[in-house]
Amino acid sequence: MFNDAVQFVENYPLLVAAIKIVIVFLVLSGVVAYMVLAERKVLAFMQARLGPMRVGPWGLFQPAADGLKLLLKEDIIPAGADKFVFLIAPVISVVAAFTVFAVIPYGPSSALIITDLNVGLLFVVAVSSLGIYGIILGGWASNSHYPLLGSLRSAAQLVSYEIPAGMAIVGVLLVSNSLSLVKIVEAQQSSGLWNFFLQPLGFLIFLIAAVAETNRNPFDLPEAESELTAGFHTEYSGFRFALYFMAEYTSMVLVSALAVVLFWGGWLRPFASVAALDFLNYLPPVSLLMIAGVVFFFARRNPVPAEKWFLVAVAAGSAVLAGVVAVPVVITAVQPIFWFTAKVFALLYAFIWYRATFPRYRYDQLMNVGWRWLIPLALGNLIATACVLWWAGPNPGRLKLFFAMLAANLAVAIVVALLVGWRSPTAAAVEKQTGS
């Protein structure tokens, strides 16, 4: 039977790819839809309120209601808009965001990746940049002031932050010696050291640039609602607005997945080479059991019978799933997916966390952070990484490499901080205004 399956894959590679694409697309859409709900819930939790509570138990069906609402709304095209560009712009954004997932590896076997492109990283950088066109064109085609300002902002912002992000990725390339995302994770596996430990500075730069590229707080200037009403999508309504929304959240998932693959060891368990931590392998069923327990706890307190029984069913389902996952064969099989998902969600949570914590940068300050801090840091990191790798030679010891990289990163950070922080540009501006 196993041979039959292999035969099938060999005979119909396109069909298999299509099935995988459909599965990834559906799962991703679900994750994106529930990401919106999760964001609202986590924000509510941090802000001493409840969040959506009306649609379904604890607002669990809110994404479906939102989607339906947006589908049924009128699709308004403003007078004087460039109609074709206006219509196509959100599609560009969302297609670009979804396409990149073709090369993201969810696990070691070829079944868990749509295609392992040997220039996967280039593909990621290239296609994800295309999403900017959707934002720029959408804002421009609206024939309205606020969207135009929003799209101008995003053009400058995304182009500026693409550079440090790209250079941070090159640092990973140097360490891992490959452009294929699978190979990058495998390199982290064989060295037993995640790239995060070799490239802490690179990770920080990538993370900040990633937040900026997804237009998220504190870099959400293109859609700053208190300044530009809604920025580039002010004139959009109905499902085209939903497409922009989906594109934004998909890019969030995307950059989190990329950060996990590039820096956090992709599908690898934390400290996979440390045998003492093997008990972590049992985390998948344990976490499912914990979910079941929490859901059951809330079910008991829910006064609406229908919702109560729904939650009890969810709890029972999770418990049964935990039982299935606890089977030794299955537990090994789900390891990669579990760890990959857990790490992606941890980063996504951080995205929401920033939004609850930070005020928004101003346009010139954003450029300041990008050009005066991140680009010099990324350049310095690149040079330092190359030098350390050249100094260490082929196959260096793990610890030797780690400490050398750490020292190099620290040196780069200190030198850049001294050079850049020498004189802040605001001091002159204050002198001009106050005359003191």
Partner 1 sequence: MPEVTYLDADELVINMGPQHPATHGVLRVKLKLDGERVTGSECIIGYLHRGIEKIAENRTYQQFAPYVDRMDYVAAVTNGMGYCEAVEKLLGAEIPPRAQYTRMILAELQRIASHLLWLGTHALDLGAMTPVFYTFREREEILRIFENYCGARLTTHAFRIGGLLYDLYDGFEKEVRKFSDMFLGKIDEYEQLLTKNRIWLERTQNVGILKAEDAIAYAVTGPVLRGSGVKWDVRKAQPYEAYDKVEFDVPVGRHEGWGDTYDRYLVRLAEMRQSVRIIRQAVERLESGPIFGKVGKIIKPPAGFEVYHAIESPKGELGYLVVSDGTTHPYRVRVRPPSFVNLQAFDLMARGHLIADVVAIIGTIDIVLGEVDR
Residues contributing to the site for partner 1 (CB under 8 A): 43, 46-49, 145-146, 149, 153, 217-218, 220-221, 224-229, 355-365, 426, 429-430, 433-434, 436
Residue 378 Cβ vs partner 1, minimum distance, rounded to whole Å:
20
Nearer to partner 1, 147 or 171 (CB): 147
> To the nearest whole angstrom, how small is the minimum distance from the Cβ of residue 39 to partner 1?
12
Least Å from the CB of residue 69 to partner 1 = 21
Q: DSSP secondary-structure letter at 59?
A: G
Among residues 70 and 221, whose Cβ is nearest to partner 1?
221
Q: How far apart are CA 367 and CA 361, in angstroms?
A: 10
Q: Which is nearer to partner 1, 149 or 268 (CB)?
A: 149
**What is the C-alpha to C-alpha distance for residues 178 and 165, in angstroms, rounded to an integer?**
17
Nearest to partner 1 of 230, 337 (CB atom): 230
Q: Which residue has the tokens 């693959």?
A: 261
Least Å distance, CB 365 to partner 1, is 5
Contact between 409 and 384 (Cβ < 8 Å): yes
Structure tokens at 71: 């589908």
Helix (H, G, I), strand (E, B) or coil at 79: coil
* Strand, coil or helix: 280: helix
Provide, rounded to whole angstroms, the least separation between the CB of residue 56 and partner 1: 24
Phi, psi of 166 (to 5 degrees): -60, -40
Position of tokens 């802000």? Answer: 47
Instruction: Yes or no: say if 378 and 164 are a contact pair by the CB < 8 Å rule.
Output: yes
| Closest separation in Å from C-beta 44 to partner 1 | 9
* Nearest CB to partner 1, comparing residues 203 and 361: 361
Minimum distance from residue 29 beta carbon to partner 1 (Å): 26
**Can you tell me the distance from the alpha carbon of 57 to that of 295, in angstroms, rounded to the nearest whole number?**
10
Instruction: Specify whether the CB–CB gap between 372 and 420 falls below 8 A.
Output: yes
- Using the minimum distance from each CB to partner 1, give the nearer residue, 346 or 429: 429
Closest CB to partner 1 among 177 and 357?
A: 357
SS (H, E, C) 127-172: HHHHHHHHHHHHHHHCCCHHHHHHHHHHHHHHHHHHHHHHHHHHHH
The residue written with tokens 């609850």 in the block is 356
Task: Return the exposure string of 262-292: e unless at least 16 CB atoms fall within 10 Å of the residue's CB, then b.
Answer: bbbbbbbbeebeeeeeeebeebbbeebbebb
CB nearer to partner 1: pick between 33 and 228: 228
In the complex, the smallest distance separating the C-beta of residue 247 from partner 1, rounded to whole angstroms, is 21
